[in-house]
Amino acid sequence: MATFFFPHEHQRGLKFTAEKEAMFRRLAKDKLKPVNGLYKLKKWVEDRGLKRAAVTNAPRENAELMISALGLSEFFEYVDSISGIKAGVAAGMPVVGLTTGSLEHLLMEAKPAFLIKDF
């Protein structure tokens, strides 16, 4: 995004990105809400003893904040992007795609084990 707004001003783009991410963390800390059914899915996964890992293309600080804010620090195996699904599949992990943020056909191209449309 920064290269779009500031194509010839690298330092300004870096500053913009840092400020945007800091603003996101300030807002997310107090306003982040779980997707409906998240904790029901969490229990289902735990009850079956399924292994989990967190995978995201978000900045690590943002990902850790969101996972912690949702009370999932000791739980999560999560991919929030198509590139994350591809990384998990390439690592030989069974990956579940969630259609809340991406188009179903694009998720299927990443070859998850299966898709969840909602909880």
How many domains does the chain fold into? Answer: 1
Residue 92 lies in a domain: yes
Question: Percent of the chain at pLDDT above 70?
Answer: 92
In a domain, 24, yes or no: no
pLDDT (0 to 100) of residue 6: 84
Tell me whether residue 65 is in a domain.
Answer: yes
pLDDT confidence band for 83 (50 / 70 / 90): confident
Provide the pLDDT for residue 114: 84
Q: What is the structure's pLDDT at 19?
A: 93
Residue 53 lies in a domain: yes
pLDDT digits (tens, 9 = 90+) for 7-58: 899 999 999 999 999 999 999 888 899 989 999 989 998 999 887 877 777 8
- Domain for residue 93, yes or no? yes
In a domain, 1, yes or no: no
Mean pLDDT on 65-89: 79
- State which residues form the domain around 105: 34-116
The verdict on residue 15 lying in a domain is no
Within a domain: 26? no
CA dist., res. 60 & res. 65, Å (int):
8
Which CATH number goes with the domain that contains 90? 3.40.50.1000
How sure is the predictor about 118, in pLDDT bands with cuts at 50, 70 and 90? Answer: low
